[in-house]
Amino acid sequence: MTTPEVEMTRELRNLPSVESVLSTSPIRTLAREYRRDWVADLVRDQIDAARGAVRNGSPAPTAEEMAQTVAEHIDDLGRVGPRPVINATGVLIHTNLGRTPLSMEAMEAMIQAAEGYTNLELDLYDGKRGSRQAHIQALLRQLTGAEAALAVGNNASAVLLGLSALAGGREVIVSRGEEVEIGGGFRIPDVLRQSGASLVEVGTTNRTYASDYEAAITENTAALLKVHSSNFRIDGFTHAASEEELVAIGDRHGIPVLHDVGSGCLVNTQDFGLAPEPRPQDSVAAGVGVTFFSGDKLLGGPQSGMAVGKKDLIRALERHPLARAVRIDKVSLAALAATLLHYVKGEAETKIPLWRMIGTSSPELENRSYHWQTALGEGVLVLRGRSTIGGGSLPGETLETWLLALECEAVPGGPNEVLRRLRESSTPVIARIEDGRVVIDPRSVFLEEEDALLRAIREALEPGG
């Protein structure tokens, strides 16, 4: 009678050798395309994994089965990522999907900056070394009214740099209601500590007055900090000190006011039927010393962060050692400059994809949904729905839309299986489930993506998969 231990020993002996796997046809082909020693290492790793599986009761794979597994692994590694996907969720600033697409002009600027040498830090007039900030400073000054401007890798970097340069080793006063956490565990109190500044809390979660800030000022106070909540909203019995009130206090005590406005919205969101969003130019106009904001949210540009404000304060940020560690790269800088130029030209609402999506009318979305329904035939419905801004911007704000709803009863596994099939299509489609149906929101789907979308939906709704 064969014992489990004897059977396991036999299966371990049946594991293919490295050379036997390398000699299979698929692996020989891969070894011509990739370095043979690298492929051999992957084979060894797979054999080690199979050895562990055998010890847990699995049968030993053949050399051909092992080769197929290694080939699939190499195929996955060989794909250049991140991969393009179709965003059918209706979440316009989708952090997991890379926030928002860039304008055509911004993409062209990135290619131009990447494919050759640039005058990144060269002054073409005198031939001497210049500053990479020169490419965006004039645009930011014009758009915000600030005396000076600085761009870095993202808004978290901008805030960290500002606090480090202006308040390191001293105290910063902030309202308890503004000690927020945004995506990725970015917490204002943690950033303050990392910068070397000490946090001084004032007020309460829902109500903080200007007098609370003034009462907390000491000889060790370096700045007053105001933070936009960005991804949540508190309603009801609330009060927050205005920028103007804090600037008046700061002026009396010789203390700068720092303001993190979050999304970097340069347009009036109320024109689109949305709640008001703080704008950098309004913060600057109120007299704030330094205003921080993102470039890849409501601004509609690449990942970046900006600090704009008074010349002497921005100069302190530029001179701080941390500035080099968080500086913006040439490709993002080119895209940012192109995006800002859209605002200067007054064409942001037609050129920047985010604002085109936000501005798309409900009748247009209805027509697209019914067009898709006609193309697909039975098994799909058109329903009213709501699109979401997303990305920690305009919390709770939605836009009227029309949804293509997929009936999933004929598919084993239902809506979750349909979602999986959409994700695994040749061009992945990311959708969502609502009321037991998979729904597709046309607001976040580009016209040029429609053919791939409809093909993926047809395949996903096949009963046999």
pLDDT one-digit tens code per residue, 22-31: 999 888 888 8
**CA atoms 202, 207, 213, 215: torsion sign:** negative
Tell me which amino acid residue 457 is.
Answer: I
Least confident of 117-126, 185-194, 359-368, 425-434: 185-194
The confidence band for 360, taking pLDDT boundaries of 50, 70 and 90, is very high
Strand order across the beta sheet in which 171-175 lies: 148-152, 305-309, 290-294, 257-262, 221-227, 171-175, 198-202
The burial of 128, by beta-carbon neighbours within 10 Å (0-12 exposed, 13-18 middle, 19 or more buried), is given as exposed
The pTM of this model reads: 0.88
Distance (Å, whole) CA 399 – CA 257: 34
Q: Is the peptide bond before 82 cis (omega within 30 degrees of 0)?
A: yes
- In this predicted structure, the answer to whether residue 232 has a pLDDT above a threshold of 70 is no
pLDDT of res. 196: 82
CA–CA dist 230, 95 (Å, integer) = 14
**Long-range contacts made by residues 274-278, C-beta under 8 angstroms, separation at least 24?**
274/358, 274/389, 274/394, 274/397, 274/399, 275/394, 275/396, 275/397, 277/393, 277/394, 278/228
Distance from C-alpha of 65 to C-alpha of 128, rounded to nearest angstrom: 61
The pLDDT tens digits for 287-313 are 999 999 999 999 999 999 999 999 999
Split at pLDDT 50, 70, 90, the class of 205 is: confident
Q: Is the pLDDT of residue 397 over 80?
A: yes
Q: Output the pLDDT for position 465.
A: 62
Smallest CA-to-CA distance from 164 within 261, 56, 292 is with 292
Pick the more confident residue, 145 or 178: 145
The pLDDT of residue 258 is 97
Q: What is the pLDDT of residues 280-289, one digit of tens each?
A: 999 999 999 9
Which pair of structure tokens corresponds to residue 21?
């796997």
Cβ count near 52 (within 10 Å): 9
What pLDDT was estimated at residue 140? 98
DSSP secondary structure of 251-311: HHHT--EEEEEES---S-GGGGT------HHHHHHTT-SEEEEESSSTT-SSS-EEEEE-H
Residue 229, classed as helix, strand or coil, is coil
pLDDT band at 109 (very low <50, low <70, confident <90, very high): very high
DSSP class per residue in 405-443: EEP-TTSTTHHHHHHHHHHTSSS-EE-EEETTEEEE-GG
User: What pLDDT was estimated at residue 230?
Assistant: 62
CB 290 within 8 A of CB 162: yes
Quickly tell me which residue has 């106070």 as its tokens: 221
Integer CA distances (angstroms), 236 to 180, 232, 346, in order: 18, 14, 37
Report pLDDT for 2: 66
- On the question of pLDDT at 186 being above 70, the answer is no
Spatial separation of the C-alpha atoms in residues 34 and 12, rounded to whole Å:
29
Average pLDDT over residues 189-203: 83
Kindly tell me if the per-residue pLDDT of 112 is higher than 80. yes
pLDDT the model gives residue 119: 95
- Answer yes or no: is pLDDT of 215 > 70: yes
Q: Give CA–CA dist 46/365, Å, rounded.
A: 49
Give the C-alpha separation, 424 to 390, whole Å: 24
Chain centre distance of CA 122: 31
Angle 305-308-309 from CA coordinates, rounded to 5°: 155
Q: Give the strand pairing for 198-202 and 380-388.
A: unpaired
Cα four-point dihedral sign 353, 354, 355, 360? positive
CA 209/CA 195 separation, integer angstroms = 26
Residue pair 153/330 in contact (Cβ under 8 Å)? The answer is no
List, in sequence order, every residue forming a beta bridge with 148; answer none if it has no partner.
Answer: 309
Residue 178 contacts residue 229 (beta carbons within 8 Å)? yes
Q: What is the mean pLDDT of the chain?
A: 91
Tell me what percent of the residues of the chain surpass a pLDDT of 90: 69
pLDDT at 333: 98
In whole angstroms, give the CA distance from residue 49 to residue 420: 26
The neighbouring-strand residues paired with 199 are 172
Locate 50 and state its tokens.
Answer: 């199979």
Phi, psi for residue 232 in degrees, rounded to 5: -155, 170
pLDDT at 228 over 70: yes
Nearest to 442 by CA among 99, 86, 84: 86
